[in-house]
Each structure stands twice: as C-alpha cells, then as structure tokens.
Amino acid sequence: EGYNFGMIGLGVMGRNLLYNIADNGFSIAGFDLDAVKIRELQEGVTSATKVISTATVEDFVAALESPKKIILMVPAGVPVDAVLYSLTPLLSPGDIVIDAGNSYFKDTERRVADLKEKNLHFMGIGVSGGAEGARRGPSIMPGGDLEAFKLIQPMLEAISAKVNGDACTAYMGNGAAGNYVKMVHNGIEYAIMQLISEAYDLLKKGANLNNDQLYEVFKEWNSGEMNSYLLEITRDIFKQKDDLEEGFLVDQILDKAGAKGTGKWTSEQAMEIGVSIPNIDTAVTSRILSAYKEERTKASQIYSKNEITSPENTELFIKEVGEALYLATIISYAQGLALLVKASEEYSFETSLKDVVKIWRGGCIIRSVLLEKFYVAYTKDSDLSNILLDQDISEIVKTKISSLRNTAAFAAKNGISTLGIQSALGYFDAYTTESLPVNLIQAQRDYFGAHTYQRTDREGIFHTTWQTAII
C-alpha cells in the first residue's frame, strides 16, 4: 500500500503541514532538494505517525498510492515550475498536484492548463496561519477541479482549524479561485496591519503612551468586539523585551517594511478589474514609502513639524482611536470582499462569499470576531455586493463614524501620517455619496478630448463643442 499523500518542500511551512496531516491519521511521504531538510523531517517523526522521507523524486513518486496526491510547499514563482518540470514526467493520468504556496493566480491558471494536457490535475490552495497555523490548524482555501478537490477534501477538513465545530476550509471555486481568495486575504492583512500601526503611532506620539500602556490598551481592545489575531499578537509585541539592549524590542526594529508581493498583486488585480480598494493600495504604498528611510530623514529636517497638541481627554482619545481602528478595519474587509465579488464574475470562479468569511473565522492571519458578523450578513443575503450595505453592519458603522472623523482630523492637524485611516474615511465618504463631483471630470474630458458624457436627465451619449470664455 502506498502513502496517501506526498509533500514536496520541507521548509517550516511544508514540514509543519506534513506533520499536521500525519497527526490526523494520513500516511505521507516528504521530499526536498535539500538533504538537510530531509534529515530534519526524519528527526521530527514520532512512532505514532506514518511518515517517510525520500532521497530522490523518483523514490518519492514511487512511494505514493494512486491517484497520487502531491502537495507543493515551495516558494511562489520559478521554483514551482522547476518542481513541475521534474515531477510531471513521473506522473500518470488522474494524479493530482496541489500547490499550497502563495502562487500568483495567473500562474496557477497556466499550470492547470499545462497539466490538463497530460491528463493531470493541478490545484491551487491558499493556506493561511503562518508556521504555527500549518502545524495546529490553518485556514485552507482550495480551488480548482471539483473531482480532484473531493479526493483531498477529507484530509483538508481534518487538518484545518475549527470554529464551533466547522472546519475552516471550503471549496472556493473554479480554476485559480483558491490562490485568488488567499491573495485577497493577504491584501486585507496588509490593510489591517497598516491601520494597527497607525493606531499605535497615534497613541504613542499623540497621547505619549509607553509600551506598558500600549500593551494594556491593545489588551483591552482585543478582549471585546475587536478581538482578532492581529490585535492579539500586537498586544504581545509591546511586552517583548530586547535580548541585546535595555528596553523593548519593538523600539529597536528598523522602520522599513518588507513585502513578498501578494499585497501588490491584490492592488494590481483591483485596478485591472475595476474595484476600488484604497486601504489595500495605501497599505502597499506605505510599505514602499517606508523604505525611503534616508530620504524621509532628510525631508523631516527640511519640513520640521510643530509640536503635537495632546488631546484634552486622553481616555476619550484612546477610545476614539480604537473605534476608528475598528471601523477602518470593517471598511478594509469591505473592500477586499467586494473585490472577490467582482473577481468571481470576471473569472467565473463561482466563489461563495459566505464560505469565504466562514473559513476566515479561524486559523488565518485575519481571523477576528468581526468575521462572524460578516458570516451572518452573507447568510441573510448571499449576493451582498458590499458588506457596508448590510443593515446590522450599517448600525455598527453609524456608531463609530464620528470617532473615525475625529481621529483622522487629529492626525491631519498634528502631521501624523495616517494613509490607512484617511483612506478608509475617504472611501466611506465617496461610497456613501449619491452625487460625486465627477460630472466636472466628464466635462473636462469632453472639453479637451471629445470623450463624451452621459446626462442625468436623458438617455444617450453626448458631446458638446465647449466654448472658450471671452474675457
């Protein structure tokens, strides 16, 4: 009898996912080009599980039962194609290759088509939850061929996180839907992280809170309706002492943010299919801007800022920053989810938004109690185009909007950069405005380029010969 599954790529994520699969009673073979990683895999194996590590890709493939179900956990891009190049000649019709990395969805579409020519199934599945999630229960976003999906569904349900007994995995749709949903998950992750960093900056610079006080504030925020994984880890970060110097580690970390690309892809995608997601756009651009450390230092000397006028009532200020963060977070989810609605139409994914928010409730990086509210909203109306249109969500929004305005105003007055908070407010105000001033933009376009316009009072396309005003 061959092994149930195979895993190629035994880095931290691949190895942890493999152990998780083995813990759930499935036998699994592991392979990596790096002999050290193969040895490390063997060292972590317990007698209770059925795990084998193989030295060559040929041995690896030969060890598996048919149809072979092979999971790839290798870096996105060229490494995936390199693995497929050596792997696919060894496979037989009906075998399934499952890419569990953060692959770009268009790469997945291409690979699905390439492997289909060889009668092989290729699936892209999003896995979120970091190293710990992979080991103990991630959120899993599978997409692709439905028949192939059914063969791996029991395993995915077994290894994923659980919320109220529900597995945090569900079929996300056709083709590259799994990678797409994971990409948008990461875009939302970027947006929320940006907002949290701005709240931190406002409390630190605006209200002079130290790390102990920040810990207390985040602890309180995380214990109520704002409860989320990202707030929880933020709380803990403020407690972490530095190993190398006196004081807290967070204060020693250089303010240049890294990025591996999924946030940028989300923004590019939204532009491509015409969806407005300014919170994700600004989160991406903020990370880019953060890298100009030397220039920022120079500019800060040229444009020195006035001293910050501390809020009159610190407690009220903290409360309002918290509510602003909460509302801006809702608005960020709203943008990402709206992108998924449009993408599902555009690419015929047939993604169920209700299932998306359901499986994001646990295991993933953007899990939060808010997702439960979104789940209720999509249960009432599965065709909801934007969660801001839901009655219950709108009630929450209405109670927090003045805090978002006050916080944005405080930041603007005091020169504290808040691209995320300002974007959330700007999006909200535009989205909730019946008549925008783009009538003027249409007039200008028609004036200089005869681009035509539509009218509010009658059907049709119009062009005017605009008159230069006589001075």
CB contact at 8 A, 149 and 124: no
Residue 94 or 261 having the CB closest to ligand 6PG: 261
Residue 126 or 173 having the CB closest to ligand 6PG: 126
CB neighbours of residue 458 within 10 Å: 7
The single-letter DSSP state of residue 299 is H
103 scored as a contact of ligand 6PG (CB under 6 A):
no
364 scored as a contact of ligand 6PG (CB under 6 A):
yes
What long-range pairs does 350-354 form, CB within 8 A, spacing at least 24? Answer: 350/173, 350/174, 350/177, 351/172, 351/173, 351/177, 351/180, 351/181, 352/170, 352/173, 352/382, 353/378, 353/382, 353/384, 354/378, 354/379, 354/382
- In the list 93, 258, 437, 449, the residue contacting ligand 6PG (rule: CB under 6 A) is 258
Residues 285-314 that bind ligand 6PG (CB under 6 A): none
141 scored as a contact of ligand 6PG (CB under 6 A):
no
**20 in helix, strand or coil?**
helix
Residue 265 or 410 having the CB closest to ligand 6PG: 265
Pairing of strands 28-31, 96-99: unpaired
124, 137, 152, 140: which is closest to 359 by C-alpha?
140
49, 67, 63, 47: which is closest to 8 by C-alpha?
63
Given 69, 189, 323, 400, the catalytic residue:
189
Count interface residues toward ligand 6PG (CB under 6 A): 13
Q: Measured between alpha carbons, how far is 415 from 135 in angstroms, rounded to an integer? A: 43
> Can you give the C-alpha Rg of the chain in angstroms?
25
- In the list 194, 228, 262, 423, the residue contacting ligand 6PG (rule: CB under 6 A) is 262
Pairing of strands 162-163, 28-31: unpaired
Q: Measured between alpha carbons, how far is 128 from 371 in angstroms, rounded to an integer? A: 15
186 scored as a contact of ligand 6PG (CB under 6 A):
yes
Q: How far is CA 293 from CA 15, 318, 360, 402, in A?
A: 36, 29, 35, 34
Q: Is the sign of the CA dihedral 379, 381, 383, 385 positive or negative?
A: negative
Q: Choose the binding region for ligand 6PG from 157-165, 259-267, 277-285, 372-380 (rule: CB under 6 A).
A: 259-267
Is residue 189 flagged as an active site residue? yes
Residue 4 or 266 having the CB closest to ligand 6PG: 266
* Structure tokens given for 127: 């896995």
332 scored as a contact of ligand 6PG (CB under 6 A):
no
Q: Measured between alpha carbons, how far is 349 from 124 in angstroms, rounded to an integer? A: 13
Give the residue closest to ligand 6PG by C-beta. Answer: 128
Residue 186 or 407 having the CB closest to ligand 6PG: 186
- In the list 260, 298, 413, 451, the residue contacting ligand 6PG (rule: CB under 6 A) is 260
CB 136 to ligand 6PG: min, Å: 13
365 scored as a contact of ligand 6PG (CB under 6 A):
yes
259 scored as a contact of ligand 6PG (CB under 6 A):
yes
CB 363 to ligand 6PG: min, Å: 9
Given 37, 68, 69, 182, the catalytic residue:
182
Is residue 345 flagged as an active site residue? no
77 scored as a contact of ligand 6PG (CB under 6 A):
no
165 scored as a contact of ligand 6PG (CB under 6 A):
no
User: Contact residues for ligand 6PG (CB under 6 A)?
Assistant: 102, 128-130, 186, 189, 258-260, 262-263, 364-365
Residues annotated as catalytic are 182, 189
